[in-house]
Structure 1
Amino acid sequence: MITSLNLRFVLLLVLIILACYSHADPVLGRGQIDVTKNEFENLSCDGVTDDAHKIQRLIDIAPATADSVFVIPSQRTCVFTGRIFLRSNLTFKFHGGAAFAGGSWVYVSRSENSGDGPRNVRWIDCNFINKGKYITRTHVLIRAANVTFERCVWNRVFRKDTHVIDVGGSENIIINDNTFIGSHGDIRLANDITKEAVQVDYAWMLGMKIPESDLKASGTGLHVYNNAPSRNIVVRNSRFVPSYNPDGSIESYPPPPFGVHATTSECLRNLRMCIGDVRFEGNVVLDVVDVGVQRRNQGIIHFGLQGKINISGNTFQNIHTHNDYMVSVEVPDGKLDSVSIDVDKNRFMWSDPRVAVILIREGVALAKSEHLERMVRICDNDFYIDRLKGLPRLIDGHDRDAKIRRSDCGNRFSGLSHAPRVPRK
């Protein structure tokens, strides 16, 4: 028999449970474990002591069957050298001002029997910096999946000899609301830059720079290199901006944001083996470092032979630097109806009206066909050109530009007396 006392007790218990859930960390869901709640005091995170061994140990002892959450307290800087090997089901959540400095993060199979890399890795509100001798290197993803970077800041960690995030043969990699600030080392205008902030590649030894000794140390081997293409790679609502001096002048330029430069022979024979479904959406790109004379035919966003690319809703400003192209894409040759290249709803602002904005390259067979107009869509963009003197070229080469123009799909052109203001956020 239910008495009023029992009923009041049940209601009180329900209220307590609801209160606990309402105050829970939103990152921690059912089955998740905060592995640093009792273990964090074992890490120094004082900005001086190398914590590589302890960070690796925390990752290794975390339960493999649950989502483990590493919570880094406010104003702490964890520094390390070498490489940290990740595994599946990890979340790194940083509180105000906390940061990692130094080393590389490697996403690679930890098993001799499988080449599949880590799944379900999240980085939330993370700051990556350099501190003294601790120089941040690269996140290397080999056959990884479902990796997200949310609201992360990469403060002058790009170097001209390495990428910030190197994606090889991986899928469902989402970079959302990140900020890439400036660069590290001697990176000036007219340097020959061969790297990007985010490189999209295949799972192949040529592109992924992980020594064989490191692969063996992680418990796997060269079988991870199966030439698999990367798919569903998204960079969204992010910023690639210079670092500034106190007087407002540019201290260092940001890296080229996104791209790939090589392809495999399998891609040439089979479109399904090409990198595909790549999206660059809603980003702000300000004064990317000049890529140099050796790469004049490559845009600051550059893709080789790919299947599906969408570049939409971005702002590109090229006022203080002198890159010839904002976007360059090479289209696979032949009749490939599943190819789609969309460049739409962007704002392009640049200072030299003599250069083209977008470079579309195609093979000989494709250049003689009508397939390119169906595969490439360049529409609803705003082009702001300093001292407008006639319409600039949209697409370089032959009469392809005129054919695209005749489609009349809403591109707008304006002259500039000065560069429009763009938020630095």
Structure 2
Amino acid sequence: MALQVVTAVTGAAWESELVGALDRADHGVTVVRRCVDVGDLLAVATTGTAQAVLLSAELRRLDGDAVARLTAAGVAVVGLVEPGDDQAAQRLHQLGVGRVLPADAEAARIAAALREAVGGSSGDARSGAGHDVGDPRAALPVLGLPEDPADRPDGRGRVVAVWGPTGAPGRTTVAVGLADEAARLGVPTLLVDADVYGGVVAQVLGLLDESPGIAAAARQATAGTLDVPRLARLAWAVGPRLRVLTGLARADRWPELRPQAVATVLDQARRLTALTVVDCGFCVEEDEELSFDTSAPRRNGVTTTVLEQADTVLCVSGADPVALQRTIRALGQLRDGLPDVDPGVLVNQVRRGPVPGDPRAEIGGALARFTGTRVVGFLPADRRATDAALAAGRTLAEVAERSPLRVALRALAAELTGAPLPARRRRRP
């Protein structure tokens, strides 16, 4: 059976010739409709009459959200650009189009790319596999990285997602502390506030919460114009090796963050720094799919996207019975919704009192018994140090260098990044 394809190629003199060449019987492709704009294309995609779409970079109102909706509708996307137009190829790649071909490619080659896109044989489009046109982003400079980073053999940084249940288990405290300590160990780090329910990274570090931050980065990603230099300009430089991409100024602005755009931001962040620490929201529910019979905005889609993209997921839990119960329920919900995500539990605010006996032994045993999830570490409670840091808008290392919480976060950063801890200085008697 012939592959049913729609085209959305505007302003190109070669469109008619291409459609005629693709319709030849020996290519196994049938062009069922020629769309004039994105609205027409999305309307056809929802009817289920097309298996793939062939579009050009010049298509009006084409953005990352449109490509994501096509993919969600089960329509494979292949892009066409004018020969030698690397900027258009880069834009299509950033919008999420995995296969981009020059417009003067032979019809047989284009038909083969359409069949491969429908079959999904190229692997992950984000990795660049299966691209017929070289990705121009590979030529961009990687800012702030050491010349020979041993922890980045493939030239791409790691993403660590700091997530946790509802309540106040200390997600932001852990994310800020982890990013700061990694930067102090010599690892170029980017801290991203992706909490759609009210991120406060800017307030914690004493930065302007009205700065563009992740909202501006997401807008550029949707338009296909985000690259490494632009991301670096949007992020605050709060230290020699630490940048911060602030979050939404108000929680009701969450529709500005689309999952596909955030995925592109993370992809560029991997090129910018060796380590990206993301402060996530708590909720991973997907009730939008139950409430709407069409594509709907997903508030929690940003969190699930970050968790899926991350190399390491840390589930921050409190150390009291209520917080532990919330953690157990959240881990069960995460396992049901995202079975491929394997988080490690980081128990925060550990102290004697709420849990009888040895807190570490009791909490570790309870989590292993009820969730089967590994505990990657325990962070001691140090309210005096965290209050001092919050009051000054500074990090723990700046206001309480010898805080037990700061020492534990430093050890965790060294373990995650592989950076050696500096030798302890001997104290004079």
Q: TM-score, normalised by structure 2?
A: 0.32
More helix, by proportion: 2
Determine which structure has greater relative contact order: mean sequence separation of CA pairs < 8 Å that are 6+ residues apart, divided by chain length.
Answer: 2
